[in-house]
Amino acid sequence: MSLNEIIYKFENIVGSSYVIHATEDLIAYEYDGSIDRSLPNIVVIPKNTKQISEILKICYTNQVPVIARGAGTGLSGGAIAQNGGVSIGFSRMTEIIEIDPENHLAIVEPGVINSELSEKVSEYNLYYAPDPSSQQVCTLGGNIAENSGGLHCLKYGVTTNHIIGMEIALSNGDLVWVGDKTRESPGYDLRGIVIGSEGTLALATKLVVRLLKKPETVKTFLAAFKSISDASEVVSQIISSGIIPSAIEMMDKLAISAVESSINPGYPHNAEAILLVEIDGLHEAVIEESKDITQIFKQYDLLELREAQDEKERINLWKGRKGVLGALGHLAPNYYLVDGTIPRTKLVEVLEKINQISKKIKLPIANVLHAGDGNLHPAILFNERNTSERDKALEAGAEILKICVEVGGVLSGEHGIGLEKQEYMPLMFNQSDLKSMSNLIYAFDSPNFNPNKIFPTGKKNITEINQSGIISQSGSEIFI
Amino acid sequence: MSLNNPQLQKLFGKTGITINSNSVSGYLVDNQTPMAIIYPKTIQELSTTLKIASENHLNVVPSGGNSRMNLGNQINAIDLMISMSNLDNILNHNPADLTVRVQSGITIEKFSKLLSQHNQFVPIDPPLPNIATIGGTLAVGFTGPLKWMGGNLRDTVIGMTIVESDGTIVKTGGNVVKNVTGYEMSKLHIGGLGTLGIIAEVAFKISPLPHHETTILIPVNKSNDLSQVTHDIFQSHITPLSIVSMDVSTFKSLKIKCKLDSKYVACIRLGGRRNEVQRMSTEIKKICQYVDDFIELDKSNFIWNKIANFGYPVSPKNRMIIRITSLPSKTISITNQIRKINTSFSPVDFKIISDHTHGNSIILCDNLTTSQYILELIKEIREKVHQYNGCVILESIPQNIKSQCEIWDANPNTIQLMGKFKKTYDPFQTLNPGRFAGRI
């Protein structure tokens, strides 16, 4: 079938207004949160599951690549149509189909914006826990593709812990339920397999999400440290003391100076590192845990310990953290953002190594961490026009990822593999591991779903990878 | 099966792997005896065993503590049983990181004991923890009423090593708590009943043990009150570790030394800081103003052990254990409907424990008589449960009716898709052939 014939068929399914194929119109769909660019041949925006099923049947018959697209905020090139093909946009599938407050559930379409769900269920004193920094714009379908976490996933878990069932569309257009409204549905956990599979196995078309009761009390602390190693030690101490805060976030001096010069949330300028620690739960538990955490803080020579006195102050403290990547633009034209997770007890060691790398390459590295999870986000600052700086940044990023794996960590804590890290996969997995994973594509019969991502192509040496996918120009629309 | 016993001995004799074909009679699976039991001591030996098995088209049953071996459809054939009992080491426990990696043959009891020495735990409470293993429990996919933050068993696993049906050793996940590197293959094996591979090692994220625990028993006389109590607590600010209910005859059958004069009882397990637990206890009493009397027990582990062991060991043989999953709000209605079932043969003596956090119920029926009676009973239970969009799993049923029943309720479309996974990961039907949902 020719491209024009496919376009014609799609127009019959969704109407011509929702089929985009002129190059000038496709440009809006050539990117995501990374800097990779590639035009799909067609963008089609279905309104419902039936339309998705019909679209997929055509793509399957014609072996056309299918790339699902939520809000395009992903950071690993997951929504990039690097081989062209059909990009399916979910921006019209935004219905909250059912809210079941009695069972703490909702059934939603995948185009629903993450934060909108929490807003809609707020009247029942419920919320949806995974809260990626992009939650004001990112979609739940996109969250499923990347198994998104968020600032509060330390205590409450990531997307896979909060989606209990899904209707999925297979590559041939068949619709299947994996999981349902009950918490323990029978059979292989295909729900768990599809979540985090970056759109390579199936497309989620309806989601059953688990909702949590809003915590009764929330307390947020800002602690400012004279050294980043003190801050790292405190993270380990809090976790090993048996307290699981809802969030422990860390920013180093460079990151602090970036947000202070733009967002100005009132972080101490002279701190080498700050921690934002939030605890929540029943009032009695929060009071006791606050005392214990304060005791831990007091063992260190802090520059400042501040507790948010009201919701306004709390929001302000988080505002700096949430806007940090956009703020890096005040320090350098470009950054190379690394995403890796390490065992939490290795924070001091790894941050010191990152510091040494920064000195070696003579480029500043701003550290922003979901410290409680051991999820690092070093941002190597450089100017892309300076080729030498760019190369050094790339090499440093690779070195940091290798360090993460060497200390028992992993290649990605939350951004996914996508195009960005596919060549790094052999650092963690051998051929057997990768083959077992790629067998899922055969089991799902989905070679045309987001093809040539996640798995190493084998064409490139790791040191020569074109990592444009992880280099971003600083701007306000990027979130970690 | 393409080999006889001497050939088998010869094959494994070369490998140095422990093989026992003398005392196999106690290891029945669906009334079939394995030709031999293999005891690998390393993952490499496990891999070699499966390689030999698949190359020779032998049918294999993986075995943990054999505590729930009754679960599953009638197996097509069995040649070998692989016991994981020698793979029971703790590989890496890092208390400060709240992670642990163990070999899958470790018993729940040994595992829990290790963690409790560091005031830590994993919410995993299957029946018979002294013999049930980590691998077996994960393969079955469900445990008891203990819940942590409302999560599932699968939420605790962060990594795995699996040996696939052809002996390939595969690693998935890692030892850190946040990871999106590649597909989460462990999900295929949690609840997969060892039909796609054998779980060899598991990494868990662990949680701090609650500082203090208490249990509140709430006796009520009306089913409506029971429904109200469990509903109101589920909806309140507090998040108990467990919310279960049962009728008094079920409670008495647990042989808990506690006198109850009511018709029903709700058991609420609370955990946390001492002040927090006290507050929760006060909240419950406020919520349940219509209840006259509460029983509060500080040392209550014995109650929860008995509840977790409900129905186990499966003896006498004419016992049936049925697991129902439904929405929490439908649990009481379903159990009320089931209690009303009267077969054409005789009234049924049900014992039922319901978990109101996840909406599960375990039904225990003893003194079952004829096959026809049991089949009629199962049919009636399924009808009632399906009216409320619930699901039935026949966790343990008498052997003589197995071939006439499907153990799991599952959607035909999903079964068809699951069949593709079996074909992909176990093309020669080496592992537990025919035992899984849809006789996969």
The domain segmentation of chain A, as residue ranges, is 3-89, 96-213, 217-411
Are the CB atoms for B190 and B142 separated by under 8 Å? no
What part of B 129-168 touches A (C-beta under 8 Å)? 141-142, 149-152, 154-155, 162, 164, 168
The CATH number for A96-213, chosen from 3.30.465.10, 3.30.930.10, 2.40.50.140, 3.40.50.720, is 3.30.465.10
The residues of chain A scoring below 50 in pLDDT are 461-470, 474
Q: Is A282 within 8 Å of B152 when comparing Cβ atoms?
A: no
Helix (H) or strand (E) holding B217: strand B212-220
Interface predicted TM-score (ipTM) of this complex, two decimals: 0.96
Amino acid at B94: N
Judge: A436–B185 Cβ closer than 8 Å, yes or no.
Answer: yes
**Residues 6+ positions from B143 with CB-CB distance below 8 Å:** B123, B124, B125, B126, B137, B153, B308
Q: Is B172 left (phi over 0), alpha (psi -120 to 50) or beta?
A: beta
State which residue of chain B sits closest to A427, comparing Cα positions.
B181
Superfamily of domain A217-411: FAD-linked oxidases, C-terminal domain (3.40.462.10)
Q: What is the CA radius of gyration of chain A?
A: 22
Task: Identify the CA nearest to A103 among candidates A156, A158, A180, A168.
Answer: A180
Q: Return residue ranges of chain B for CATH 3.30.70.920.
A: 320-413
What is the arithmetic mean of pLDDT over B389-407?
94
Q: What is the largest CA-CA distance in chain B?
A: 72
CA atoms of B269 and B123, how far apart (whole Å): 13
> What are the tens digits of pLDDT across the range B278-336?
999 999 999 998 888 899 998 888 999 999 999 999 876 778 999 999 999 999 999 99
Cβ separation of A187 and B239 shorter than 8 Å? no
Contact across the interface for B273 and A437, Cβ inside 8 Å: no
A34 interfaces chain B, CB cutoff of 8 Å: no
Q: In which band, very low, low, confident or very high, does the pLDDT at B32 lie, cut at 50, 70 and 90?
A: very high
Nearest 5°: CA angle at A96, between A94 and A99?
A: 170
What was the pLDDT predicted at A479? 62
For B212-308, the fitting CATH number among 3.40.50.2000, 3.40.50.1370, 3.30.70.2190, 3.40.309.10 is: 3.30.70.2190
**Do the chains contact at A413 and B421, CB–CB below 8 Å?**
no
Instruction: Give residue-wise pLDDT tens across range B182-226.
Output: 999 999 999 999 999 999 999 999 999 999 999 999 999 999 999
The arrangement of secondary structure in B90-208, i.e. its CATH architecture, is 2-Layer Sandwich (3.30)
Tokens read off for B162: 């699996």
| DSSP letter assigned to residue B347 | B
Indicate the pairing of strand A163-169 with strand A217-225: unpaired
Rounded to 5 degrees, φ, ψ at B393 are: -125, 125
Q: What is the mean pLDDT of chain B?
A: 93
Cβ distance of B171 and A429 shorter than 8 Å: yes
Half-sphere exposure of A329 (CA within 13 A, CB side): 13
Q: Cβ A343–B175 below 8 Å, yes or no?
A: yes
Under a CB-based contact definition with an 8 Å cutoff, are residues A375 and A338 in contact? no
C-alpha to C-alpha distance for A161 and A128, rounded to whole angstroms: 11
Residue A310 is predicted with a pLDDT of 95
Which pLDDT band holds residue B151 (cuts at 50, 70, 90)?
confident
Contacts of A344 in chain B (CB under 8 A): 96-98, 177
Question: Taking CA atoms, what residue in A is nearest to B232?
Answer: A102
| 8 Å CB contact between B325 and B410 | no
How many Å apart are CA A198 and CA A201, to the nearest integer?
Answer: 8
Please tell me whether residue B166 adopts helix, strand or coil conformation.
coil
Type of residue numbered A233: E
Query: CA A393 to CA A319: how far, in whole Å?
Result: 28
Residues A228, A48: Cα–Cα separation, whole Å: 50
Burial of B134 (0-12, 13-18, 19+ CB in 10 A): buried
Pick from B97, B149, B424: CB nearest A343: B97
CATH 3.30.43.10 residue ranges of chain B are: 5-85
pLDDT score recorded for residue A469:
41
Instruction: Note whether A348 contacts B: Cβ–Cβ < 8 A.
Output: no
Mutation to test the B interface, candidates A103, A167, A182, most B Cβ within 10 Å: A182
B228 touches chain A (CB under 8 A): no
Q: pLDDT by residue (tens digit) across A17-67?
A: 999 999 999 999 988 877 678 999 999 999 999 999 999 999 999 999 999
Q: Could A193 and B181 be called an inter-chain contact, meaning their C-beta atoms sit closer than 8 Å?
A: no
Mutate which of A103, A170, A184 to disrupt the B interface (most B C-beta within 10 Å)? A184
Measure CB to CB from residue B275 to each of A244, A288, A433 and give the nearest one.
Answer: A288
Residue intervals of chain B classified under CATH 3.30.465.10 are 90-208
For A3-89, CATH number out of 3.30.43.10, 3.40.50.410, 3.30.2130.10, 3.40.50.10710 equals 3.30.43.10
Q: What is the enclosing helix (H) or strand (E) of B61?
A: strand B60-63
Considering only CB atoms, which chain B residues are within 8 Å of A190? 187, 414, 417-418, 421
Taking the CA of residue B372 and the nearest CA in chain A, the distance in Å comes to: 26
For residue B175, list chain A residues with Cβ-Cβ distance below 8 A: 343, 408
Report yes or no: B328 at the A interface, CB cutoff 8 Å.
Answer: yes
pLDDT at B147: 86
Tell me the nearest-neighbour CA distance from B243 into chain A, angstroms.
14
Q: Looking at residue B23, what is its pLDDT?
A: 84
Dihedral Cα A381, A386, A392, A396, nearest 10 deg: 20
Nearest to A182 among B359, B408, B418 (CB): B359
3-state SS string over chain A?
A: CCHHHHHHHHHHHHCHHHEECCHHHHHHHCCCCCCCCCCCCEEECCCCHHHHHHHHHHHHHCCCCEEEECCCCCCCCCCCCECECEEEECCCCCCEEEEEHHHCEEEECCCCEHHHHHHHHHHHCEECCCCCCCCCCCEHHHHHHHCCCCCCHHHHCCHHHCEEEEEEECCCCCEEEEECCCCCCCCCCHHHHHCCCCCCCCEEEEEEEECEECCCEEEEEEEEECCHHHHHHHHHHHHHCCCCCCEEEEEEHHHHHHHHHHCCCCCCCCCCEEEEEEEEECHHHHHHHHHHHHHHHHCCCCCEEEECCCHHHHHHHHHHHHCHHHHHHHCCCEEEECCEECCHHHHHHHHHHHHHHHHHHCCCEEEEEEHHHCEEEEEEEECCCCHHHHHHHHHHHHHHHHHHHHCCCECCCCCCCCCCCHHHHHHHCCHHHHHHHHHHHHHCCCCCECCCCCCCCCCCCHHHCCCHHHEEECCCCCCC
Q: Considering only alpha carbons, which residue of chain A is nearest residue B390?
A: A182
- Give the closest residue to A322 by CA, choosing from A112, A132, A128: A132
Size of interface A-B (CB pairs under 8 A): 256
> B178, B230, B435: which to substitute to probe chain A, counting the most A Cβ within 10 Å?
B178
Nearest to A149 by CA among A72, A247, A228: A247
Is some CB atom of chain A closer than 8 A to the CB atom of B237?
yes
Q: Please identify among residues 71-100 of chain A the ones whose CB lies closer than 8 Å to any CB of chain B.
A: 100
Residue A372 Cα, gap to closest chain B Cα (Å): 10
SS3 state of residue B86: coil
- Tokens 């920013």 map to which residue? A251
Non-local CB neighbours of A399 within 8 Å, separated by 6+ positions = A357
3 state SS of B63: strand
Decide if B391 touches A, using CB distance below 8 A: yes
Mutate to test the interface with A, among B176, B420, B435 (most CBs of A within 10 A): B176
Give me the CATH code for the B5-85 domain, please.
3.30.43.10
What is the 8-class DSSP label of residue B266? Answer: E
The shortest C-alpha distance from A287 to chain B (Å) reads 10
Q: Mutate which of B179, B329, B421 to disrupt the A interface (most A C-beta within 10 Å)?
A: B179
> How confident is the model over B98-138, as pLDDT tens digits?
999 999 999 999 999 999 999 999 999 999 999 999 999 99
Q: Is B116 on the interface with A (CB under 8 A)?
A: no
State whether B187 and A184 contact (CB < 8 Å).
no
Instruction: Name residues 240-299 of chain B within 8 A of A (Cβ).
Output: 272-273, 275-276, 278-280
| Fold assignment, B320-413 | Alpha-Beta Plaits (3.30.70)
Whether B412 has its CB under 8 Å from any CB of chain A: the answer is no
Residues 105-124 of A with CB under 8 A from B: 105
